């Protein structure tokens, strides 16, 4: 037993799950090789409790766009800290950040701030209901844990059952289902809330365009959840990348290099609804995260950060294709360069997830920390990608050797 295993056992006695975030719960299938705690990060590397180093492609589940302990961002936070964290009235930094976001994000005439991705989405849903004076919403993708999204699992999860009447999910990317549901609820619909891209194979943007056209037809709003796509696919997220205009959009991860802040923004006439009812909270004007966001956005614009992220992502994807060809594995690099993966193919549908599991287990052993999708930061250099590919090749070789022997032990995969 490693010291971190004992620590985790103790954490489970004090903290349900032992952590705050579902995706940070240690996966039993990886217990041999995946670390349970991370204690430090710098650039694109992180270190676990035993001091083992990893090249990180998880980036704290998306937020660390520039890199861990990025000097420019942390210096801006320290400077703001010397003035104060939170004040008795608004701070001028709020306007400074608001103007930057409105300059970068398409269709953002006005913006307000919150702390989490879920907050931003919930505020947008409120605005959409107030603006349209309708209750029904459709969702597509993961949006956090709010009642309006978690109603499907009601009442086991504490969400009132009546909430089920006001929300239906659309499987992301399924144009037929989207059209059917939007036409079914038609003029009862306040909004469709959808993620910009589900990090799977459909990268076309057709689904978003369909949602845009159909919501317009029924006078409903299109609310984009850009929590994962914003400042990642492009500075202005999926709206910019796909050229789809949302009425409202929510941004969080990747905005402030890991500091806790989210933004909800959109067309002036929608945002001005906020002058007619209350969304209010004490900490949304917290200045350290705002200073971090300003420094992060300045760096993104000045240094063309997204060009680098795309170039490094392409290098990784080319490498995935090379590795697959060299090892004779049927598969290809899939997705978009800021968040791609190696998709295995096989006549037996159970084979790809099995091989992926074994590969990921071996990647952790090699010191590569992965997500189901490989997120790239500005701190990933060509040498880091090349080192990763060398290790990934070794790990895949071992996974292929192990596959026939461990076939029955491998559990279904995640994501
Ligand atoms: C697309 C999307 N929306 C919303 C959320 C929820 O954000 P948060 O965990 O900051 O509340 C997430 C988190 O993973 C997300 O990926």
Rounded to the nearest 10°, the torsion over CA 140, 142, 148, 154 is: 110
Of the candidates 27, 22, 68, which has an alpha carbon nearest to the alpha carbon of residue 46?
68
Q: Is 316 in the pocket of ligand 1 (CB under 6 A)?
A: no
Residues 277 and 343 in one domain: no
Of the candidates 361, 286, 248, 246, which has an alpha carbon nearest to the alpha carbon of residue 114?
286
Residue among 25, 143, 231, 289 whose CB has most ligand 1 atoms within 8 A, to mutate: 143
Distances (CA, A) of 353 to 161, 357, 411: 35, 6, 9
Residues 221 and 311 in one domain: no
Residue among 114, 118, 373 whose CB has most ligand 1 atoms within 8 A, to mutate: 118
Rg, C-alpha atoms of the chain: 22
Supply the pLDDT for residue 216: 98
**Could you tell me if residue 414 is inside a domain?**
no
Query: What is the DSSP pairing of strand 53-56 with strand 339-344?
Result: unpaired
Spatial contact of 286 and 356, defined as CB atoms under 8 Å apart: no
Nearest ligand 1 atom, CA 253: 10
CATH number at residue 192: 3.40.640.10
Residues 121 and 211 in one domain: yes
Nearest ligand 1 atom, CA 118: 11
Spatial contact of 106 and 240, defined as CB atoms under 8 Å apart: yes
Supply the pLDDT for residue 403: 82
Within 10 angstroms of residue 284's Cβ, the number of other Cβ atoms is 20
Residues 319 and 197 in one domain: no
CATH number at residue 47: 3.90.1150.10
Supply the pLDDT for residue 30: 84
Residues 259 and 368 in one domain: no
Supply the pLDDT for residue 29: 79
Spatial contact of 194 and 169, defined as CB atoms under 8 Å apart: no
Q: Is 166 in the pocket of ligand 1 (CB under 6 A)?
A: no
Supply the pLDDT for residue 404: 83
Tell me, what DSSP letter sits at residue 162?
Answer: G
Q: Is 147 in a helix, a strand, or coil? A: helix
Tell me, what DSSP letter sits at residue 23?
Answer: G
Residues 382 and 280 in one domain: no
Supply the pLDDT for residue 414: 52
Residues 311 and 256 in one domain: no
Enclosing H/E stretch for 132: helix 117-132
Q: What is the DSSP string of 192-236?
A: EEEES--SSS--S-HHHHHHHHHHHHHTPEEEEE-TTTBTTTBTT
How far, in Å, is the centroid of ligand 1 from the Cα of 335?
19
Q: Is 141 in the pocket of ligand 1 (CB under 6 A)?
A: yes
* Phi and psi, residue 62, nearest 5°: 125, -30
Distances (CA, A) of 49 to 46, 205, 340: 10, 41, 28
Last residue of a domain, one of 261, 282, 302: 302
How far, in Å, is the centroid of ligand 1 from the Cα of 57?
17
**Residue 84's domain spans which residues?**
71-302
Q: Whose CA is nearest to atom 8 of ligand 1?
A: 117
Of the candidates 374, 407, 391, 406, which has an alpha carbon nearest to the alpha carbon of residue 56?
374
Residues 87 and 230 in one domain: yes
Supply the pLDDT for residue 183: 98
Query: What is the DSSP pairing of strand 110-114 with strand 136-140?
Result: unpaired
Last residue of a domain, one of 270, 302, 334: 302
**Could you tell me if residue 370 is inside a domain?**
yes
Nearest ligand 1 atom, CA 21: 9
Nearest ligand 1 atom, CA 115: 10
Supply the pLDDT for residue 413: 54
- pLDDT tens sequence for the chain (415 residues): 899 999 999 999 999 999 999 999 988 878 889 999 999 999 999 999 999 999 999 999 999 999 999 999 999 999 999 999 999 999 999 999 999 999 999 999 999 999 999 999 999 999 999 999 999 999 999 999 999 999 989 999 999 999 999 999 999 999 999 999 999 999 999 999 999 999 998 999 999 999 999 999 999 999 999 999 999 999 999 999 999 999 999 999 999 999 999 999 999 999 999 999 999 999 999 999 999 999 999 999 999 999 999 999 999 999 999 999 999 999 999 999 999 999 999 999 888 988 999 999 999 999 999 988 999 999 999 999 999 999 999 999 999 999 888 777 776 555 4
Supply the pLDDT for residue 405: 83
- How many domains is the chain built from? 2
Q: Is 227 in the pocket of ligand 1 (CB under 6 A)?
A: yes
Q: Is 63 in the pocket of ligand 1 (CB under 6 A)?
A: no
Supply the pLDDT for residue 371: 86
């Amino acid at each position: 037993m490693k010291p971190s295993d004992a620590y985790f056992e103790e954490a489970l006695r004090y903290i349900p799950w032992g952590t705050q975030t579902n995706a940070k719960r240690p996966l039993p299938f990886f217990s041999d090789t995946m670390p349970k705690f991370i204690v430090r990060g710098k650039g694109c590397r992180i270190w676990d409790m035993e001091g083992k180093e990893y090249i990180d492609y998880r980036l704290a589940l998306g937020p660390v766009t520039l890199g861990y302990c990025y000097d420019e961002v942390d210096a801006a936070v320290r400077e703001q800290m010397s003035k104060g964290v939170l004040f008795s009235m608004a701070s001028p930094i709020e306007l400074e950040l608001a103007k930057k976001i409105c300059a970068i994000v398409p269709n953002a005439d006005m913006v307000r701030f919150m702390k989490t991705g879920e907050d931003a989405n919930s505020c947008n849903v409120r605005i959409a209901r107030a603006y349209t004076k309708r209750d029904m919403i459709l969702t597509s993708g993961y949006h956090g844990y709010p009642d309006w999204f978690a109603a499907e699992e009601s009442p086991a999860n504490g969400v009132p059952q009546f909430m089920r009447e006001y929300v239906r999910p659309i499987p992301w990317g399924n144009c037929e289902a989207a059209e059917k549901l939007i036409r079914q609820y038609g003029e009862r619909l306040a909004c469709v809330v959808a993620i910009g891209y589900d990090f799977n194979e459909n990268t076309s943007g057709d689904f978003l365009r369909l949602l845009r056209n159909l919501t317009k037809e029924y006078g409903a709003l299109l609310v984009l959840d850009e929590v994962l796509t914003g400042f990642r696919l492009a500075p202005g997220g999926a709206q910019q990348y796909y050229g789809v205009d949302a009425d409202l959009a929510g941004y969080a991860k990747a905005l402030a290099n890991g500091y806790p802040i989210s933004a909800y923004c959109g067309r002036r006439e929608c945002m001005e609804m906020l002058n007619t009812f209350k969304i209010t909270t004490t900490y949304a004007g917290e200045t350290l995260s705002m200073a971090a966001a300003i420094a992060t956005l300045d760096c993104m614009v000045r240094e063309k950060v997204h060009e680098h992220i795309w170039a490094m992502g392409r290098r990784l994807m080319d490498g995935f294709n090379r590795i697959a060809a060299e090892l004779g594995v049927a598969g290809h690099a899939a997705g978009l360069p800021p968040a791609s993966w190696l998709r295995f193919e096989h006549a037996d549908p159970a084979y790809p997830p099995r091989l992926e599991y074994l590969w990921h287990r071996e990647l952790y052993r090699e010191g590569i920390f992965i997500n189901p999708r490989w997120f790239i930061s500005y701190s990933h250099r060509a040498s880091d990608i090349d080192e990763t590919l060398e290790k990934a090749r070794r790990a895949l070789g071992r996974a292929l050797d192990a596959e026939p022997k461990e076939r029955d032990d491998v559990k279904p995969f995640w994501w």
